Amino acid sequence: MIAIIGGTFERFRPLVDLYREAGARAGYDPAILQVGVHAMGFVADSDDEARDIFFPGWAQMIGKYASERGWSQPDRAQFDYMAGPDGAFLIGSPETVAAKMQHASEVLGGVSRIAFQMTSAAFETAAMLRSIELLGTEVAPVMRANNANA
């Protein structure tokens, strides 16, 4: 399981390759060497809505870590990049999130599981429930169909 809290999915391919190479050298069948991804994720009815709901809590959470570690404070532009097409946040509409999940799997050479870090410091229960609903009713069926066709 790779915890990806920033950057791009492509940056983690060398780590996945190293894992698979080490497993092969140790005599493991490549078919059992599964890769999972844990990333920031949240689904809403639109990309803008998902970003607007998730950003305040993310900024608060990352801002706390930044203060403790002497990093610069996070900003909306940084967040929007990470939630955009090239970033590793799985935040957006069901279509956007499913496409980014598929991209992550392709770039990393096949992913068997993706887990979302959905909780951030500040959003309403109704938004979380809606996100879970959209994951189950719209994102998961697309991913299952894509994997069945692979």
Confidence at residue 118, expressed as pLDDT on a 0 to 100 scale: 87
Residue type, position 98, single letter: A
Q: Which residue has the higher pLDDT, 150 or 94?
A: 94
Contacts of range 128-136, beta carbons closer than 8 Å, 24 or more positions apart? 130/43, 130/44, 130/45, 131/42, 131/43, 131/44, 131/50, 134/43, 134/44, 134/45, 134/94, 135/43, 135/94, 135/97
pLDDT band for 150, please (50, 70, 90 cuts).
low
Q: Which CATH superfamily is domain 2-148 in?
A: Luciferase-like domain (3.20.20.30)
Q: How many CB atoms lie within 10 A of CB 19?
A: 14
pLDDT surpassing 80 at residue 55: yes
- Write down the domain spans for the chain: 2-148
Confidence at residue 149, expressed as pLDDT on a 0 to 100 scale: 58
All residues at 6 or more sequence positions from 56 whose CB lies less than 8 Å from its CB, including other chains: 120, 121, 122, 123
Please report the DSSP string for 23-52 in residue order.
Answer: HHHTT--GGG---EEEEEEEE-SSHHHHHH
Write out the E strands in the chain: 2-4, 36-43, 90-92, 113-117
Rounded mean pLDDT of 129-147?
A: 93
**What crossing angle do the helices spanning 94-107 and 140-148 adopt, rounded to 10°?**
40
